Amino acid sequence: MYRVRYVVLALAISAVLLTVPAAQAFATSIELLGVAWDHNPTVYIKLQNGVDPKYKAVVIEALNAWINSLNAKVGNSNFTYVLKDTLAKRETADITITLKKNTGTILGSTSIWSSGGVITKVEITLATQNALGLPLDEGDVFTIAAHELGHAWGLGHSNDDGKPPLDLMAPTFDFTGSNNVKILPSDLDLNAVLAIYGSDGFALPNPNPGGTFP
């Protein structure tokens, strides 16, 4: 079956100061990638040698932040995922999240494979150190992970105006001024996911053809 690979723009370091949660951000629209899941995705988190295991719990927290916020928004528990602690031989997960020590100036990146508008595989890479090799705060890794997961659900970047506070799906992030703040999905981010899937969750998609929301 023909597959298309989408390499989503990576989350890079910027000079913008982040000070408060993204719910108050100055973003008015967000790109939709035109692809969606047709089932609740499985997720596997793997750590590069030397990565502090505490960051795995941070990524799970970011996953749950999306799921809990979406379900609270629609008043049900339809949005979910299946976390795989281990993979059997030749088993794969729908979403593989790799935590690395250092990825240079790119803090996170997401690659998406799809067929006929349905997502078939996602690979996310996250940094746990800055370009100088210094550990990132847990709040920063949370924000980076939550941002990349937004791409995994089918979102592109928001049209954030670059002024604090930034939207979670803004294309850049300044870890140097974040004060370890965890940026949560904004109403814009959540409504964009609902524009793709409706209230039925990932298992019953109604993929938006793409473009921008609203």
CATH superfamily of 4-207: Collagenase (Catalytic Domain) (3.40.390.10)
Q: Which amino acid is at 173?
A: F
Residue 9: what pLDDT? 43
Residue 15 reports pLDDT greater than 60: no
Confidence label for 14 from pLDDT (cuts 50, 70 and 90): very low
Q: What pTM does this model have?
A: 0.87
Would you say 171 and 11 are in contact if contact means Cβ atoms under 8 Å apart?
yes
Sheet-wide strand order for 30-32: 155-158, 30-32, 211-213
More confident residue, 8 or 213: 213
Rounded CA-CA distance 6/33 in Å is 9
Tell me the pLDDT of the chain averaged across its residues.
Answer: 84
Residue 79: what pLDDT? 97
pLDDT, mean of residues 74-87: 96
Residue-wise pLDDT tens digits, 47-77: 999 999 999 999 999 999 999 999 999 999 9
Would you say 207 and 35 are in contact if contact means Cβ atoms under 8 Å apart?
yes
Whole-number percent of the chain with pLDDT over 70: 81
